[in-house]
Chain A
Amino acid sequence: MLLEGKNIDFKYGNEIIFKDFSFELNEGEKLVLKGESGSGKSTLFRLILGFELPDNGEFLYNGSILKNDNLKSFRKETAWLPQDLNIGNGSVKEVIEYPFQFKSSSVEKPAPNTIKNLLNDMRLESSILEKSFSDLSTGQRQRIGILTCILMNKSLMLLDEPTSALDRESKVKLADLLLNSERTILSTSHDPFWVERCDRIIEMQQI
């Protein structure tokens, strides 16, 4: 098992977000958490990545409990697409290339052709690279975010509502690129198109 959440309790102030929540994610599996907004789907990613600490319970990665001392090495294995898509500043090219400057980056800065091919797969023109990231539409930003996550080539992808701003054709392309690959993907979604194509669904209820 690659990632496991065990008996997670978490609340914001008096609002209970998770009560005794558990899940398991196997290597290569595409698991989707389905639920309406407010059911804590995005919070789960923040808990897994250690940005929030659960009140009870623990997360295990490859059998080891995630704690402050191994959190940093765990984050080197992940690529996360946050829901608000605030993932960089400057031109689209700078946003895509920024994570490859990190010392931990296991892959080289992608070659221009690799980026161009992926842009093409995502139905985006190469000229978008010179545009300011903040000027893009939500759908364009979402595709650039996913593209960046794919290029990082990490063993675990955490995707928060990856299809929320995509048209039908882009969704088909994305599903083909990600769900038919060998990647391990944990995603949240309430889009039937995406949910139906994942290997397993966990229904999240608002508590």
Chain B
Amino acid sequence: MIESLKCNRFDMEIIELSWFQLAIGFLSLLIPGAILWWYKTGLNRKMVIATIRMTLQLLFVGYYLEYIFEYDNPWLNLAWILIMVVVADFATIDRSDLRQKVSLIFPIFGATFLGIVMIDFFFLEVVIQLRTILEAQYAIPITGMVLGNCLRSNVIGINDFYYNLKENQERYQFYLASGATRSEALYPFFQRALQKSANPTLASMATIGLVSLPGMMTGQILSGSSPMTAIQYQIMIMLAIFTGTILSVFLAIIFSNRFVFFENDMPDPSIYKR
């Protein structure tokens, strides 16, 4: 009796949203629009463009994912993951203050891809134990969430590493002049970049559930999962995100170091925008 009640309680069908209902949702933008306009922030145009972009991008992804979910072919899923990694690679350099140089594009791509492959293999195949390899229902959203966070951490980590090095170039050179190898002289810069990129994820891990309900968990609860299942997945995704972000920042710095530095251990100055 209790079991069936439990099932009934969480086996509810999600309320389907009509396009009209979604359109009503857009009316909420009148409030921020009015506030931003009243204080002459100059952000109204940006808000409209961002809203249109968000809507079109998500609709496009939605249609594409419906297709991917329907076919659920591992090769197709892998291709989609590769596309996401390439976009994240260019977005990382674009959002940082570094130039789109081959010496950065390829190492960051390699680092992000390798990081994602390791995370996906461990969490999808070892922890969740998918029924088929790269099953779209799990592989696509989990990879997407980890990748989104890797992107943010890579931007912080790579930017901090190379700009801290530029601003404290004499300290780096002092270490080299004292006989340090390149990796020994770069150690303190590496240390700070890792601290800076790990902090946002650590802060959100420390407050999750108390301050906010994360998106993935909210989505699962809305679509009818029990809160405990949603929480189990959320804990797993937080572990995947944290491991993935540290791994990709670590690999991105290690890989890019191989291409950015000249033989005399000086970094290529043309990578800097400012």
Q: Which residue numbers of A lie inside 8 Å of B, CB to CB?
A: 46, 49-51, 53, 68, 71-72, 75-80, 82, 84, 86-89, 98-99, 101-105, 152, 154, 158
Selected contact of B178 from candidates A50, A68, A80, A89, CB within 8 Å: A80
Q: Which residue numbers of B lie inside 8 Å of A, CB to CB?
A: 168, 170-171, 173-181, 184, 188, 263-266
Minimum C-beta distance from B87 to chain A (A): 36
Q: Please, which residue of chain A has its CB at the minimum distance from the CB of B171?
A: A86
On whether the beta carbons of B177 and A75 are closer than 8 Å, the reply is yes
On whether the beta carbons of A51 and B264 are closer than 8 Å, the reply is yes
Minimum C-beta distance from A32 to chain B (A): 19
Minimum C-beta distance from B171 to chain A (A): 5
Give chain B residues whose Cβ lies under 8 Å from the Cβ of A76: 179
On whether the beta carbons of A104 and B264 are closer than 8 Å, the reply is no
Selected contact of B181 from candidates A72, A84, A152, CB within 8 Å: A72
Name 21 A/B residue pairs within 8 A (Cβ), A-sorted: A46-B173, A50-B264, A50-B265, A51-B173, A51-B266, A75-B176, A78-B177, A80-B174, A86-B168, A86-B170, A86-B171, A87-B171, A88-B174, A89-B188, A99-B180, A102-B179, A102-B184, A103-B184, A104-B180, A152-B178, A158-B177
On whether the beta carbons of B170 and A82 are closer than 8 Å, the reply is yes
8 extra A-B contacts, CB within 8 A, seeds A50-B265, A80-B174, A88-B171: A46-B173, A75-B178, A80-B173, A80-B177, A88-B174, A99-B180, A104-B180, A154-B179
Which 10 pairs between the two chains have the least Cβ-Cβ distance?
A80-B177, A76-B179, A104-B179, A68-B263, A99-B178, A50-B264, A102-B180, A86-B170, A87-B174, A82-B170
A-B contacts, CB under 8 A, total = 67
Query: In the complex, what distance in Å separates the CA atom of A158 from the CA atom of B170?
Result: 14
On whether the beta carbons of A49 and B177 are closer than 8 Å, the reply is yes
On whether the beta carbons of B181 and A103 are closer than 8 Å, the reply is yes
Q: Please, which residue of chain A has its CB at the minimum distance from the CB of B177?
A: A80
Give chain B residues whose Cβ lies under 8 Å from the Cβ of A77: 179
Minimum C-beta distance from B80 to chain A (A): 43
Query: In the complex, what distance in Å separates the CA atom of A87 from the CA atom of B172?
Result: 8
Query: In the complex, what distance in Å separates the CA atom of A58 from the CA atom of B262?
Result: 19
Query: In the complex, what distance in Å separates the CA atom of A53 from the CA atom of B223?
Result: 63
Give chain B residues whose Cβ lies under 8 Å from the Cβ of A68: 263-264
Query: In the complex, what distance in Å separates the CA atom of A11 from the CA atom of B214?
Result: 57
Give chain A residues whose Cβ lies under 8 Å from the Cβ of B181: 72, 102-104
Give chain A residues whose Cβ lies under 8 Å from the Cβ of B171: 86-89
Query: In the complex, what distance in Å separates the CA atom of A74 from the CA atom of B56?
Result: 59
Query: In the complex, what distance in Å separates the CA atom of A202 from the CA atom of B53?
Result: 66
Q: Please, which residue of chain A has its CB at the minimum distance from the CB of B188?
A: A89
Query: In the complex, what distance in Å separates the CA atom of A79 from the CA atom of B177?
Result: 6
Minimum C-beta distance from B180 to chain A (A): 5
On whether the beta carbons of A53 and B264 are closer than 8 Å, the reply is yes
Query: In the complex, what distance in Å separates the CA atom of A46 from the CA atom of B265?
Result: 12
Query: In the complex, what distance in Å separates the CA atom of A72 from the CA atom of B178?
Result: 10
Give chain A residues whose Cβ lies under 8 Å from the Cβ of B266: 51
On whether the beta carbons of A49 and B173 are closer than 8 Å, the reply is yes
Give chain A residues whose Cβ lies under 8 Å from the Cβ of B175: 98-99, 102
Q: Please, which residue of chain B has its CB at the minimum distance from the CB of A77?
A: B179
Query: In the complex, what distance in Å separates the CA atom of A98 from the CA atom of B172?
Result: 12
Select the residue from A102, A154, A158 with max chain B CB neighbours within 10 A: A102
Give chain A residues whose Cβ lies under 8 Å from the Cβ of B176: 49, 51, 75
